[in-house]
A and B are shown apart, each in its own frame.
Chain A
C-alpha cells in the first residue's frame, strides 16, 4: 500500500501545479546543472562583504598595512574614520586618501560617503561581473594634514576630519573587530548585546515568536510543488530546497518526500517516472534481502538468532510512549525489526549498535513504507555509522569538538562544568551519538533532524566507495535505476550564505533589526546594488516564483559575528565542519539550561549538584524551537566566519 502512496503523491505533485507554471512560460528546460555548484565553490566569495586595505603612512613611508573584510552595511565615511581611529589609535588627525588602481592611476581624497561608495562599490561592481582579477582598494592614512600641492588630483585641497568623530569611544561603535592574523581583520556589525529591550521590542518579539510557533513558516506543499519541474517532476534547485528546510522545515504532509530528498534517496536528476521506478525496484531488492536472512533464521543460523534477540529487545523499547509504535498487531515494531535486521546482516561493519533503533524510529514514522524507510536509514547511516564504531574515534572527535566549542562560546559555563567533574562530557554522549534525537519530545524531533540533515553537504549521504554491490544493498538510486552517480558536491557554505539573505525566521529577523536599530548607528539599510546574492545571480534566468519569494527578504543581510569565533582560528575545511550543527545543538542545549547549571553547588541541600543526573532527568523535555534557533544562529555565524576568513586570507594584496 505504501508504494502506491508514494507514487501517487509524486505524480500528484506533478499535476497539481502543472497549469499555473506552464502559463508562466519560464520553465527551464533542464534541471540545474552540476556545473553551477562547482562554480560557486571555486568563487569562494562571500556576498555583502567588502575587502580593502588601509595603510598608515608617516612621512610618505608606509608603516603598517592592514587588510579588512567589512560588512557592506557598515560602509560609510564616518565608519571609516572611526575604524581608522580605533585601529591606529589616532584622534582624527589624519587625512584619508584612496589609491586608485584603475587606469587613471591617481589618488583622491576621501571626504564623504560618496567617495567611499566611489571606490568600494565600483570595485565590488566590477568584481561581481565575473571579473576574476580582483583588485584591492587601498586607503592611505596620512597622519598629518597635508598641504594642498601634495594632493594633485583634488584642487580643493585636504580637509580636516571633523571633530565630531573623535569623541566616540569604542563602546559607541556599531562595529566589532575580529583580528585574524597577518594584519587581517574582520569587521562585523556589533551583535545586539547589553542593550535594554524596549517594551515595544519585547512585545513585537513575543508577537513574532507566537507567529513563528505556528507552522505557517515551514515549506508548504504548494511551495514544494513549485520547486519541482512541472513536466518531469525533477527537483529544480536542490540548494534552495535545502536552505528552505534548514530555515523553516516542512509541512507534515510532504515530510515523506522531503526526507527522501534530504537523505538523497531521491536526487535532483530523478523524474517522476524515475522515482516511481525506483520505489518499485527498491521494494523488490529489499524483499530479496529480507527473505535471504529470514531463510537463514528458519535454518536456525545461530548468528541470525543472536542478532534477533539483541535487536528484538531494543525494538520493543524504542519510543514506547509513541502510540504509532504500539499497534495491536505489533506490525510497526515488526517493520522496525525487519529494517534493523536487514541492515545489520548486510552491513556486518558496523553491524547493529544500540542507538540505531532510535534513528530508524522517526524515519519509519515519517516514511511508513518499509523498503523506502530502509533506504533512508542506509543513507543516514552512511553519514553516521562511524559514530557507532567500537573504536570510538569518531565519537571522541565529536566530544573534543564539543569541549572546544563550549570553551569558545561560554568560558564561564565551561569552568563550571569542569568544576563539577564532568569535563569528560559523558552526559553529552547520547546527544552526540544520536544527534540529540532523544533530547526533544517526539513530535518536535522531526524539525531538529531535518534541519540538521539540511545543514550537511549532500555527499555525506552518498556512498563513497563506488562499490555497486554494497550500493545495491543500500538501495542507492544509482545502482537500482541506472541513474548517473550523483556527485554534485554541494558545499555547505552555499546553503548558509543563501539562507542568510533569504529567509531568516521572524525572530531572527527581529533580532537583526533590533541590532540595526541603534538610532544614529549609520548602517546602510538600502540594498547596495551590485552586490547580489549567489542565488539571485545564479537564478537570473530561472523561474520568477523563486525570485519573488526571495526578493522580499533580501534586504536583511548581515549576521553579526561573535567574538567567540576567534577561538576557531584554524580554518576548517568542509569535511570538518559538517558535524558542527550537531555540536552547536549541544551547546544550545547547555545554554538553555545555563542558569540551572551555574547555580549547582555542593552547598545545595537538594540533589541538584550533579550535571549528569540533571540532564538524565531532562530526557525528551528540551524546547526544540529555542534550541534550534540558537543552534542555527551559532552555525550561521560559524560558517560565515570561516568563509570570510578564507576569503580575506586568499585575497591578494
Chain B
C-alpha cells in the first residue's frame, strides 16, 4: 500500500500493562500471553488508511520499568503520537498516570497527540479502575480515551487509528511545523507523477517539507 505520511508513535506506561501485546495485536493481529519482557525499545510498523490517505505508523514500544526511562524519554521528542497505557485491573498503574503525563510534557513536543488507553478490558470481573475515572482523567488532561483489550483485539485498531486521524486533522489545521524533524511526521516522497500533499493542503509548511 502506498502512503502519504510516516508518523512516529510511542507506547508508554507502567510495567506489565500490556504495551507490547497492544503492538503485537495491531501489527500481527495476534495475542501472546507470554512474551519476552521489552528491553529498551522494540519496534513495529504498519500502514493504515486514514482520511483517504495511507499513513505508515512507526511504533516505538518502550520498556515499562523505570531503569530504562532516563534514556528512552529523551526520544519522546521525535514522536507525533503517544499511547499512554494503564491496566484497568491494577489501580497503581492508573495512579502513575500523572507521572507519565508530566514526563510527556517535559520531554515531548507540545503538539503531540496523546491517547489514554485502559487495557485488559476483557478482565472486567477484576476491574479496579472504572471507565468513568479514565474518561475524567482524559478530559482533565485533554487526551483521547479508549478502553481496549489486546487479548480480544477490542478497540485496538481504533486506538491507533484515532490517534492517526487526530494527527491528520492537526496537520490539516497547520498545527505541525513539518519542516521540524522533531515533530515525528515525515512526508513520504512519492514518485513524481503523483503529489497529493501539495494538492490537498494549502498549508505552506507542508510543501516546504517536501
Contact of B40 among A314, A421, A429, A619 (CB under 8 A): A429
Q: Which residues 418-453 in A have Cβ within 8 Å of B in the complex?
A: 421, 424, 426-427, 429-430, 433-434, 438
Tell me if A607 and B34 are in contact (CB < 8 A): no
The reply to whether the CB of A132 lies closer than 8 angstroms to some CB of chain B is no
Tell me if A607 and B67 are in contact (CB < 8 A): no
**Which B residue sits closest to A309, measured CB to CB?**
B16
Q: A354-B65, A602-B188, A613-B45 are in contact. Are A434 and B71 (CB under 8 A)?
A: no
Tell me if B71 and A429 are in contact (CB < 8 A): yes
Tell me if B70 and A390 are in contact (CB < 8 A): yes
The reply to whether the CB of A310 lies closer than 8 angstroms to some CB of chain B is yes
Among A353, A389, A391, A615, the one with the most B-chain Cβ atoms within 10 Å of its Cβ is A353
B20 smallest CB distance to A (angstroms):
10
Tell me if A390 and B69 are in contact (CB < 8 A): yes
Q: A426-B75, A610-B43, A613-B44 are in contact. Are A353 and B67 (CB under 8 A)?
A: yes
A390 smallest CB distance to B (angstroms):
5
Tell me if B39 and A317 are in contact (CB < 8 A): no
Chain B residues positioned under 8 Å from A358 (CB to CB): 36, 39
Tell me if B35 and A438 are in contact (CB < 8 A): no
Chain B residues positioned under 8 Å from A512 (CB to CB): none
A386 smallest CB distance to B (angstroms):
11
Q: Which residues 1-56 in B have Cβ within 8 Å of A in the complex?
A: 1-2, 6, 15-16, 34-47
CA distance in complex: A376, B16 (Å): 28
Tell me if B43 and A616 are in contact (CB < 8 A): yes
Tell me if B75 and A607 are in contact (CB < 8 A): no
B41 smallest CB distance to A (angstroms):
5
A348 smallest CB distance to B (angstroms):
14
The reply to whether the CB of A316 lies closer than 8 angstroms to some CB of chain B is yes
Q: Which residues 597-613 in A have Cβ within 8 Å of B in the complex?
A: 602-603, 605, 607, 610, 612-613
Chain A residues positioned under 8 Å from B37 (CB to CB): 314, 317, 354-355, 357
The reply to whether the CB of B160 lies closer than 8 angstroms to some CB of chain A is no
B18 smallest CB distance to A (angstroms):
12
Contact of B43 among A310, A427, A605 (CB under 8 A): A427
The reply to whether the CB of B63 lies closer than 8 angstroms to some CB of chain A is yes
Chain A residues positioned under 8 Å from B47 (CB to CB): 607
CA distance in complex: A316, B38 (Å): 14
Chain B residues positioned under 8 Å from A434 (CB to CB): 39
Chain A residues positioned under 8 Å from B1 (CB to CB): 605
Tell me if B45 and A316 are in contact (CB < 8 A): no
**Which A residue sits closest to B74, measured CB to CB?**
A424
The reply to whether the CB of B189 lies closer than 8 angstroms to some CB of chain A is yes
Tell me if A607 and B39 are in contact (CB < 8 A): no
Contact of A430 among B39, B58, B67, B181 (CB under 8 A): B39
The reply to whether the CB of A20 lies closer than 8 angstroms to some CB of chain B is no
Tell me if B15 and A310 are in contact (CB < 8 A): yes
Tell me if A610 and B60 are in contact (CB < 8 A): no
A607 smallest CB distance to B (angstroms):
6
Tally chain B residues at the interface, Cβ within 8 Å: 36
The reply to whether the CB of A64 lies closer than 8 angstroms to some CB of chain B is no
Q: Mark A335-360, 1 if CB is under 8 A from B, else 0.
A: 00000000000000010011101100
The reply to whether the CB of A313 lies closer than 8 angstroms to some CB of chain B is yes
CA distance in complex: A396, B46 (Å): 29
The reply to whether the CB of B72 lies closer than 8 angstroms to some CB of chain A is yes
Chain A residues positioned under 8 Å from B194 (CB to CB): none
Tell me if B67 and A389 are in contact (CB < 8 A): yes
Q: Mark B182-202, 1 if CB is under 8 A from A, else 0.
A: 000000110100000000000
A91 smallest CB distance to B (angstroms):
53
The reply to whether the CB of A630 lies closer than 8 angstroms to some CB of chain B is no
Tell me if A607 and B45 are in contact (CB < 8 A): yes
The main secondary structure of chain B at its interface with chain A is mixed
The reply to whether the CB of B140 lies closer than 8 angstroms to some CB of chain A is no
Tell me if B43 and A316 are in contact (CB < 8 A): no
Contact of B36 among A310, A317, A395 (CB under 8 A): A317
The reply to whether the CB of A328 lies closer than 8 angstroms to some CB of chain B is no
CA distance in complex: A607, B40 (Å): 22
**Which A residue sits closest to B36, measured CB to CB?**
A317
Tell me if B41 and A612 are in contact (CB < 8 A): yes
Contact of B16 among A313, A353, A390, A433 (CB under 8 A): A313
**Which B residue sits closest to A607, measured CB to CB?**
B45
CA distance in complex: A528, B15 (Å): 62
CA distance in complex: A317, B39 (Å): 13
CA distance in complex: A407, B46 (Å): 30
Tell me if B43 and A429 are in contact (CB < 8 A): no
The reply to whether the CB of B133 lies closer than 8 angstroms to some CB of chain A is no
Tell me if B36 and A429 are in contact (CB < 8 A): no
Tell me if B41 and A426 are in contact (CB < 8 A): yes
Tally chain A residues at the interface, Cβ within 8 Å: 40
Q: A602-B188, A610-B58 are in contact. Are A616 and B44 (CB under 8 A)?
A: yes
Chain B residues positioned under 8 Å from A395 (CB to CB): 71
**Which A residue sits closest to B64, measured CB to CB?**
A354
**Which B residue sits closest to A390, measured CB to CB?**
B67
Q: Which residues 574-620 in A have Cβ within 8 Å of B in the complex?
A: 602-603, 605, 607, 610, 612-613, 615-616, 619
Q: A310-B15, A619-B36 are in contact. Are A429 and B41 (CB under 8 A)?
A: yes
**Which A residue sits closest to B92, measured CB to CB?**
A306
CA distance in complex: A316, B41 (Å): 21
Chain B residues positioned under 8 Å from A215 (CB to CB): none
A360 smallest CB distance to B (angstroms):
13
The reply to whether the CB of B125 lies closer than 8 angstroms to some CB of chain A is no
A439 smallest CB distance to B (angstroms):
11
**Which B residue sits closest to A430, measured CB to CB?**
B39
CA distance in complex: A476, B188 (Å): 58
Q: A391-B70, A426-B60, A426-B72 are in contact. Are A613 and B43 (CB under 8 A)?
A: yes
Tell me if B71 and A392 are in contact (CB < 8 A): yes
**Which A residue sits closest to B61, measured CB to CB?**
A616
CA distance in complex: A421, B70 (Å): 20
Tell me if A354 and B43 are in contact (CB < 8 A): no
CA distance in complex: A356, B127 (Å): 31
Chain B residues positioned under 8 Å from A612 (CB to CB): 41-43, 58, 60
Tell me if B34 and A392 are in contact (CB < 8 A): no
The reply to whether the CB of B66 lies closer than 8 angstroms to some CB of chain A is yes
CA distance in complex: A421, B77 (Å): 13
A195 smallest CB distance to B (angstroms):
39
The reply to whether the CB of A158 lies closer than 8 angstroms to some CB of chain B is no
CA distance in complex: A363, B89 (Å): 35
Tell me if A605 and B2 are in contact (CB < 8 A): yes
Chain A residues positioned under 8 Å from B42 (CB to CB): 430, 612, 616
The reply to whether the CB of A105 lies closer than 8 angstroms to some CB of chain B is no
Among A313, A318, A429, the one with the most B-chain Cβ atoms within 10 Å of its Cβ is A429
Chain A residues near B (Cβ < 8 Å) = 310, 313-314, 316-318, 320, 350, 353-355, 357-358, 388-392, 395-396, 399, 421, 424, 426-427, 429-430, 433-434, 438, 602-603, 605, 607, 610, 612-613, 615-616, 619
16 A-B residue contacts at CB 8 Å?
Answer: A317-B35, A353-B65, A357-B37, A389-B67, A390-B66, A390-B67, A391-B70, A421-B78, A426-B72, A427-B41, A603-B189, A605-B2, A612-B41, A612-B60, A616-B43, A619-B36
Chain B residues near A (Cβ < 8 Å) = 1-2, 6, 15-16, 34-47, 58, 60, 63, 65-72, 75, 78, 181, 188-189, 191
A-B contacts besides A424-B75, A427-B43, A433-B40, 20 pairs, CB < 8 Å: A314-B37, A317-B34, A317-B35, A354-B15, A354-B37, A354-B65, A354-B67, A357-B37, A390-B69, A395-B71, A396-B71, A421-B78, A421-B181, A426-B72, A426-B75, A430-B40, A430-B42, A433-B39, A605-B2, A612-B58
